[in-house]
Amino acid sequence: MNDNIIQTEKLSFSIGSKLILNDIDFTIRKGSITGFLGPNGSGKTTLLKLLSGIIKDKSFSIKSDTELKQGFIFQMVEQNLIPWKNCINNILIPFESLNRNKIDFEDVAHELLNELGLEELCYRFPNEISGGQKQLISIIRWLVYPTDILFIDEGWSMLDIVQKERIHSLIKRINKENKTTILLVSHSIEDIAMICDTCFLLSNSPGEIIDKLELKDGFVANNELIWTKAKKIFPTITKGS
Amino acid sequence: MDKSKKNISYYNKGFLVIILFLLIWECVVRLNWINDLVLPLPSKIFYEGGNLLSNSKFYSNFFSTLTNWSVSFVIGMFLGLAIGFISGLNSKFEQLILPITAFFRSVPPIALFPVFLILIGPGKLPIIVAGILGVIIYVFPIAHQSAETIKNKYQDLGHILKLSKYDFIKKIILPGTLINSFVSSRIAASYLFAVCIGGEIIIGGRKGIGAAILEYSEKYQLEEAYFYILIAGLLGLTLDLVISKFQNSFSLKQ
Q: What is the pLDDT of residues B203-241, one digit of tens each?
A: 767 789 999 999 999 999 999 999 999 999 889 888 888
Pairing assessment for the beta strands A18-29 and A4-15 based on DSSP bridges: antiparallel
Residue B251 binned pLDDT confidence (cut-offs 50, 70, 90): low
Q: What is the pLDDT of residues B176-199, one digit of tens each?
A: 999 888 877 888 888 898 889 988
| Contact residues of B toward A, CB < 8 A | 153-154, 156-157, 159-163, 167, 171-172, 175-176, 179, 252-254
CB A21, CB A42: distance < 8 Å: no
Q: Which helix (H) or strand (E) holds A149?
A: strand A149-153
Interface pTM (ipTM) of the complex?
Answer: 0.79
How many CB pairs below 8 A link A and B? Answer: 50
Task: Average the pLDDT over A173-199 and give the result.
Answer: 87
CB A60, CB A51: distance < 8 Å: no
Give ∠ CA A123-A128-A130 in degrees, rounded to 5.
Answer: 115
Record: contact A84-B154, CB cut-off 8 A: no
Eight-state DSSP code of residue A127: G
Eight-state DSSP code of residue B109: G
Q: What is the pLDDT of residues A6-36, one digit of tens each?
A: 888 888 888 888 888 888 888 888 889 999 9
Could you tell me the end-to-end alpha-carbon distance of chain A, in angstroms, rounded to an integer? 41
Eight-state DSSP code of residue A117: T
Eight-state DSSP code of residue B171: I
**Distance of alpha carbon A221 from alpha carbon A89, whole angstroms:** 41
Q: What is the pLDDT of residues B31-57, one digit of tens each?
A: 989 888 888 999 999 999 999 999 999
Q: What is the pLDDT of residues B87-101, one digit of tens each?
A: 999 989 988 988 888
A127 touches B: beta carbon within 8 Å: yes
**Distance of alpha carbon A21 from alpha carbon A8, whole angstroms:** 12
Residue A167: what are its φ and ψ, rounded to 5°? -65, -45
Task: Average the pLDDT over B115-126 and give the result.
Answer: 83
Instruction: Give the one of B156, B160, B254 whose C-beta lies nearest to A83's C-beta.
Output: B254
Q: A236 vs B243, which has greater pLDDT?
A: B243
Percentage of residues of chain B with pLDDT beyond 70: 93
The residue of A66, A74, A84, A102 whose CB has the most chain B CBs within 10 angstroms, and thus the best one to mutate to test that interface, is: A84
pTM value is 0.78
pLDDT at A161 over 70: yes
Instruction: Give the one of B160, B167, B252 whose C-beta lies nearest to A128's C-beta.
Output: B252
**Distance of alpha carbon A87 from alpha carbon A141, whole angstroms:** 10
pLDDT at B58 over 90: yes
Q: What is the pLDDT of residues B61-96, one digit of tens each?
A: 999 999 999 999 999 999 999 999 999 999 899 889
Rg (CA), chain B: 22
